[in-house]
Amino acid sequence: MGRGGLGVGGLLLIMLIVINMEVNESTTYEVGDEFGWDPTIDMETWPRGKTFHAGDILEFKYDDQKYDVVVTDQVGHDTCTVTPRSDVHNSGDDRIELQHGGNYFICSISSLCSAGLKMAVSADF
């Protein structure tokens, strides 16, 4: 009876642990790459070609004397407005965890947001 092996149950447990470890690994992305969160590049195009997952981290680096990052909803993103449910970040180096689905970011300075300092990111499971 005791063959010294793990058995089917033990193998399944190991497989679940390995899968869970792979699923829980998050990736950190520096928004705007070497330019950071800056109106000199089109932030709406920065996410293209990247695959984001819930739990990934977006790191926003920027001049905190000139800009901020606002986590908002789609309406806030589309209209460049800070909505009542928005979350304003202004440290100059903010790390924001992506939630499943649409994630929306703007600069609270309306003219900069309208000029392109905003971004929408969709995150899968």
pLDDT tens-place string over residues 75-112: 999 999 999 999 999 999 999 999 999 999 999 999 99
In angstroms, rounded to a whole number, what is the distance separating the alpha carbons of residues 71 and 58? 11
In angstroms, rounded to a whole number, what is the distance separating the alpha carbons of residues 93 and 9? 46
| Cβ neighbours for 118, distance < 8 A, ≥ 6 positions apart | 43, 44, 77, 80, 104, 105, 106, 107
Q: Dump pLDDT digits (tens) for 18-73.
A: 444 455 689 999 999 999 999 999 999 999 999 999 999 999 999 999 999 999 99
For residues 2 and 79, the model is more confident at 79
Model pLDDT, residue 44: 96
Model pLDDT, residue 24: 63
Question: Strand 69-72 to strand 101-106: parallel, antiparallel, or no bridges (unpaired)?
Answer: antiparallel
Model pLDDT, residue 113: 98
77: its two tokens: 């993103």
In angstroms, rounded to a whole number, what is the distance separating the alpha carbons of residues 63 and 108? 14
DSSP classification of residue 98? P
